[in-house]
Copies of this chain bind each other. A is one copy, B any other.
């Protein structure tokens, strides 16, 4: 795991992301994870915009999230995102979301994606993107 590329990003919780329990709504983390993937691509010098421009799309087929501790409005959060597995047509991203000021881990998660074309047919992930996992 030491040698894996990990994309790290800090950002503030937005008010709209909280709910009536005064904590960040559990669906908001799913969006943080997606943005962590976008940031992962940017950190590797590419953009998911360009990926889609080639007619390839990464579709989420599975989502697993464990919620360990809540976050609140105004908290600074840190997403850490890395590739857990890369196959020809499939990629698994893993995530850790923490509060960098307390060091507390709030959420751990995994998403499984397949690569499809505009018509939804399974496609091989282009080499330039598969190289992320090397």
- Residue numbers of A with Cβ under 8 A of B are 12, 14-16, 18-23, 25-27, 30-31, 34-35, 38-39, 42, 47-49, 57, 59-67, 70, 72-74, 120
- Besides A12-B39, A15-B20, A63-B64, 20 more A-B contacts (Cβ < 8 Å) are A12-B38, A14-B34, A15-B19, A15-B34, A15-B35, A16-B27, A16-B34, A18-B20, A19-B20, A22-B22, A26-B30, A26-B63, A27-B34, A48-B73, A49-B72, A49-B74, A61-B66, A62-B64, A64-B64, A70-B120
How far apart are the CA atoms of A63 and B61 in the complex, in Å? 14
**Given that A22-B20, A30-B26 are contacting pairs, would A48 and B74 also be in contact in the complex, using a CB cutoff of 8 Å?**
yes
